[in-house]
Amino acid sequence: MRFAFSPDFAALFPEYSRWLVVAHNLDNRGQHEEVARLLAEASARIRSDAALAANPAAHPRLAVWREAFRRFGAKPADTRPALEALVRRVVKGDDIPYINTAVALMNTLSLAHLLPCGGDDLGQVAGDFSLRLAHGDEPFTPFIGGETEYPAPGEVILADDARVMCRRWIWRQGDATKITPDTTAVAINVDVLPPATVAEGEAAARELAERLRKFCGADIRIFLLDRTNPIAEW
């Protein structure tokens, strides 16, 4: 399987890098009290940060994603980056549900490190997949169903050979490749834009990898992609 950045995407965001955690032989069934505790503790730290609670969008690690959205023509006030939306839910007092262990670990990482983290079921990916700019005719089915829609031309999308997997980079996940308790292989992204550093992304990705091994028994490979190394194959 192959994941890549397209040249047009890399040219628009030369400062971007992605740590990709690929896990196979995943046991994603059931719940773990320790994972639930980690998620709750990460949420509590967000709520205890007075500046973050007062204005999440002003935090440098969140503001940079608003600016990235503007760069490809999206309005972040209308379609908030998923990381900001997650932080706002926690600040408001909502508990983040334990959907399944892999997703709970991804949400924990996002909150603990303030880095976008998302994932896809590799068993549902059609062919290869890439982060690229949309042509505008690629079909997208929203998470948990809904009518088919299409991205705007130039919008950053994650797409395989058949459809859009995620719209607006880190905004809205598609239904087809969502991670479920029956998922046995995943690709999980840890996204890095300055002021976050590549080293901080690596620390978060390796922390996630260890937890996927511990709680899901997964076999792990980790890749770093950037504009000079835009392809991962396994």
Beta strand 156-160 pairing with 164-167: antiparallel
If phi > 0 it is left, if psi is from -120 to 50 it is alpha, else beta; for residue 89 that is alpha
Query: Shortest CA distance to 177 belongs to which of 152, 141, 208, 153?
Result: 141
Tell me the pLDDT band of 142, cut-offs 50, 70 and 90.
very high
Residue 145 has pLDDT above 80, yes or no: no
User: At residue 161, what are phi and psi to the nearest 5 degrees?
Assistant: -75, -10
For position 199, which CATH number holds?
3.50.40.10
Per residue in 37-79, pLDDT tens? Answer: 999 999 999 999 998 989 999 999 999 999 999 999 999 989 9
pTM of the model: 0.96
pLDDT at 189: 98
Average pLDDT over residues 120-133: 98
Domain that residue 90 falls in: 2-233
As a whole number, the mean pLDDT across the chain is 97
Contact (CB, 8 A) for 173 and 145: no
State percent of the chain over pLDDT 70. Answer: 100
Q: Can you read off the two tokens belonging to residue 164? A: 């859009």
Tell me the pLDDT band of 146, cut-offs 50, 70 and 90.
confident
Total domains in the chain come to: 1
